[in-house]
Amino acid sequence: MATASFILTDPVAGEAVLPWGKGRMASLGGVSCLLYRTRDGSNRHCAYFRDLSSGQASAVVLMGTAPSNQWSYNAEYVWTSPEELWVCGGAGPVTARQYQLSGSPLPASAQVRSTTDFGDAESRALGMTRLQTGGVVTAWYQHVSGPDIAYGFAYKAPGQDWQTVYPVWLHDSSSGFAAQVATIAEHPADGSIWFFCKRDGGSFAHIVHLNVVDGSLVVDWAESGFLADVSDVSRAIHTEIPSLVAVSNPVKGVLELAFQNQMLKHYDPPDGPLALSTQVSIAHIHADKTLEWSVWPVYVPRLSLLGLIAEHGSLWIGAHPTDPVDGHQYGYDDYVAMAKLEN
């Protein structure tokens, strides 16, 4: 069941906006954060903060137009403290930016404190997550041809320098150039780090399981064939660049993984021919890899970006729904930034 939905608009442009990067929302102390960019031609990149209880909100400009090095490509972000926000993205190299936030009770301004590059001209950003210790982990891959792809991970403990783990090799059935989708999150039950990735056109996802041991990031195991159960299309990930996002749910003690499944339906957008939409499944993953499932019974465009946060045991999702939510039919350009899922 979904409740408390609303449309995200930019306070300056006064119009609907697009999620920036991968679209995953961040949260801290009952406040959500969503990165977005404007549609009005200014292409401003901003962070939208909203108190989940009171509804009070603020929009903070992080930068103007996107720079030539495309550091905002596939950006993901984590909120580690009321004064610190990390954004990591890029299409060669991958760049992690640390922002100093100011303002109360919600952030009102942001300044860049540091920038760090990873990889090379062929590197592409894949994800970033916050750990319970206050550290952050980011991931990327090498956009090259072939069935064997190299992935990289970087870890920063509070007050320490970055350390990297590279390469981590994964084998896929495809051998050509292909885009990747991925997400990374910490499991609340044991502090392990789960990385999920999928190659465009592939029929399954990969998992890389990591841990921080004696202050160092290490890979425990990796496996393929995840989310490939075609006997139940609600548990099979869509083959063509699906959105997927994972978040920690400490109240439930599980890792929540939302992804676009193979439950398909055509819809009629106002500016083009018929297009495909999918439903969104959520895998509730226990530390021992056992799974429970739920489906958000709303269709979203196949290439849309999903946002997801867990607060007080409930899930909040962000999406462009093509079906009514709470009995309301949203416009094609509307990004429904909050739809509470009872689970």
Q: How does pLDDT run across 148-197, given as a tens digit for each residue? A: 899 999 999 999 999 999 999 998 876 666 788 899 999 999 999 999 99
Prior bond of 67 cis (ω within 30°): no
For residue 56, give the nearest of 130, 1, 109, 6 by alpha carbon: 6
Is pTM, for the whole model, over 0.75? yes
Residue 292 in 3-state DSSP?
strand
> Alpha-carbon distance 243 to 25, whole Å?
13
- Tell me how far apart the alpha carbons of residues 238 and 203 are, in angstroms, rounded to a whole number: 7
Higher per-residue confidence, 218 vs 320: 218
Tell me which of 137-141, 196-200, 303-307 is least confident: 303-307
Position 68 confidence tier, pLDDT thresholds 50, 70, 90: very low
Identify whether the C-beta of residue 140 lies closer than 8 Å to the C-beta of residue 76. no
Exposure letters 249-267 (e unless 16+ CB within 10 A, then b): beebebbbbbbbbbbeeee
**CA–CA dist 85, 127 (Å, integer):** 15
| pLDDT tens profile 206-265 | 999 999 999 999 999 999 889 887 688 888 888 888 888 999 999 999 999 999 999 989
Integer Cα distance of 270 and 322 in angstroms: 11
153 burial (CB, 10 Å; 0-12 / 13-18 / 19+) is buried
